[in-house]
Amino acid sequence: MKLLFLLSTILFYLSVSAQTDSSKNLIDTATLESVTVTAFGTQSKWEDAPAAVAVINQQQLQRFDNKTLVPVLNTIAGVRMEERSPGSYRLSIRGSVLRSPFGIRNIKVYWNDIPLTDAGGNTYLNLVDISQVQSIEVIKGPASSMYGANTGGAVLLKSDPSLVNRKNIFTAGIEGGSYNLLNEQTGWNHQSGKLSFNIQQSHLQDDGYRQQSALRKDAFKADVKWTINNKEQLSALLFYTDLHYETPGGITLQQYDSLPKLARQPTATLPGAVQQHAGVYNKTGFAGFSLKSFFNNTWSNTTSVTVNHTGFTNPFITNYEHRDELNYGARTVFEFDKSVFKWLTGAEWQQNVSHINDYENNDGIKSSLMLDDDVHVQQYFLFTQLNVQVSRFTVQAGVSANQQQLKYNRVSDSVYNYWQHQNTKILAAPRLSLLYKLTNNNSLYGIIAKGFSPPTLAEVRPSTNQFYNLQPEYGWNFEAGFKGSLLQNRLLFDASVYSFKLKHAIVQQTDSTGADYFVNAGSTKENGIEIWLDARIIQNNTSFIRNFSVTNSFSYQPYKFSNYISGTKNYNGNHLTGVSKNIDVVTLDVNTATGIYLNANATFTSSIPLTDANNIYAVNYKLLQLKLGCKTRFNKTIINLFAGIDNLLNEKYSLGDDLNAAGNRYFNIAPARNYFAGVLVSAGN
């Protein structure tokens, strides 16, 4: 609390010593309806987009501690991002956490329209630093018509090096906090004639709040845009990330209640996480290039090519795995744009080549070779989509044809040393969306879409080190919604109801060693309601309080298994594992004429079933997060000084549970009350 008192004193001094109008142009007063949505090839206002899409702008990305996307994405209704330990994330849209032992499943991620998800279905979202992104669009529900394999939706990351009436902007920031947190970023934006670029560097380290939970990440990113002539524009996205995070593993309820900071403990037959130095080392270099060509006033094409390499090392309880991954691919989209009629058609192709070695883990040191596997995954799809606007109606109709080919060879096995194949073909994944504008600011929309998701490489070859022949998930989503604004744009809203029936659902299981594997569980019934409200209570450029807004995101997800029999056990009618029935998030934002601002998040999460049998639940919890800061301008320099508290109520909760865990090791405790403070500086001409 002394830290907060000191910060408050500094904030007061800065606010009165800076110019009286120092907050002008420092506060983003733009409302959401002025934001352009690009999902499904649209270039429309949020309320005119015929899709269930949420937009996070740069101001919202900076609402909390500037080190993680977790509190940012969790403000979106239907979206849940979990953190089992620093750097170990899971992201789900509408319950896709069901099959996520870690990372991302059932979701396709793009960065500047370049695929970040590889051919094997894996996305290393933890390689992306929050400072490298300017905005995010989240598509909720199947988006296979333009984005390929997904049932949960798609995430579109955006960054743009272009500047408006400025040649250079230099940024720097540093942040410290509990658990020896150190978060540092620097950046340079430059624009000269036809060339603009952005170069960023960041370093993040954290000792973690449990045993064996430290994190270190170094990241470098470059965005380049070159306008070759009035008909061609070349863009490049380059990044390199060196990431290491320790993995403490789950603990039992008894340990959670008595010694929650413990890492996974040794047993009579297996060592613990500390002894085995359990963790992940990921070194990834990524290069993506995109060329946009305008043939005439109506025809254009955007083609991108990507290549990236990942060196992935994972000391685990039972083994020491090293993966050498090479990914490359291409995407092309032809666009015909004629006033109220737009046609997009194209293709995307990706290839993953992985060489996987598993060794014995001798106290964190790799020992004798156990397995040597070569795995190749190829995935491609063709798509076409029409966007038509007639009077008050907007129609989107699209379809894709998809195929995934996987082959593997266990080189270390003298008997089965030959290539084996698994093929997945989805002939058609259609999507139809209709939006009707009731007024200039309010719209009704409806969506019918088929989504599918083949098993990822991490599920075909999970940590049991065996290969599994799994069927792809697929299902139809039916959705209706009402969105827009009232009271002269003082109240923004989006309310939707949906019904998604998933077939061949892939469910996580664990064996006696704690290794994950997966099975097709039959079908699920995922009906839900999402409500988002944004009340702009004060918007006044002359009063002391310039902006005062409150938002509420509510998700109702009473998902159930509708057909799931495993051996002699019948789970029909049970609640879906890992999915909370109710999540309610309230945010509050206040900006003043002196530059002082306050951001607050309050989250309520209901209990979560941790087993398919629904006999173990994680209890509900309430989370309160606060950030207090001050933005001041001195000539051409903007200084943003801030501090905050995470988990103000000191709630005891698990943010990222291990589902169906062997040995009843379900829980990964989240940090208790903790603090952070820092400064961001921006200067330029």
pLDDT tens readout for residues 126-135: 999 999 999 9
CA distances from 368 to 5, 271, 321 (A): 56, 17, 11
For residue 33, name the pLDDT band (cuts at 50, 70, 90). Answer: very low
pLDDT at 455: 80
| Residue scoring higher pLDDT (290 or 568) | 290
- Give the Cα separation of 617 and 596 in Å (integer): 41
To which residue do tokens 């060794």 refer? 359
pLDDT at 103: 67
pLDDT at 1: 44
For residue 18, name the pLDDT band (cuts at 50, 70, 90). Answer: very low
For residue 550, name the pLDDT band (cuts at 50, 70, 90). Answer: very high
The predicted-structure confidence for 639-654, as pLDDT tens digits, reads as follows 999 999 999 999 999 9
Tell me which residue of 604, 607, 621, 614 sits closest to 577, measured CA to CA.
614
Tell me which residue of 102, 24, 39 sits closest to 91, measured CA to CA.
102
pLDDT at 102: 55
| Residue scoring higher pLDDT (409 or 1) | 409
pLDDT at 627 over 90: yes
pLDDT at 98: 54
DSSP state of 230: T
Q: Is 99 helix (H, G, I), strand (E, B) or coil?
A: helix
Mean pLDDT of 35-49: 88
What is the residue range of 37's domain? 2-684
- Sign of the alpha-carbon torsion through 42, 47, 53, 56: positive
Q: C-alpha angle with apex 585: 581 to 587, nearest 5 degrees? A: 175
pLDDT at 300 over 80: yes
pLDDT at 416: 66
Mean pLDDT of 561-584: 90
> In total, how many domains does the chain have?
1
Say whether pTM exceeds 0.85.
Answer: yes
Instruction: Name the percent of the chain lying above pLDDT 90.
Output: 72
- CATH at 564: 2.40.170.20
Task: Choose the weakest-confidence range: 81-90, 197-206, 406-415, 602-611.
Answer: 406-415
Mean pLDDT of 24-32: 48
Q: What mean pLDDT, rounded, does the chain reach? A: 90
Mean pLDDT of 526-541: 95
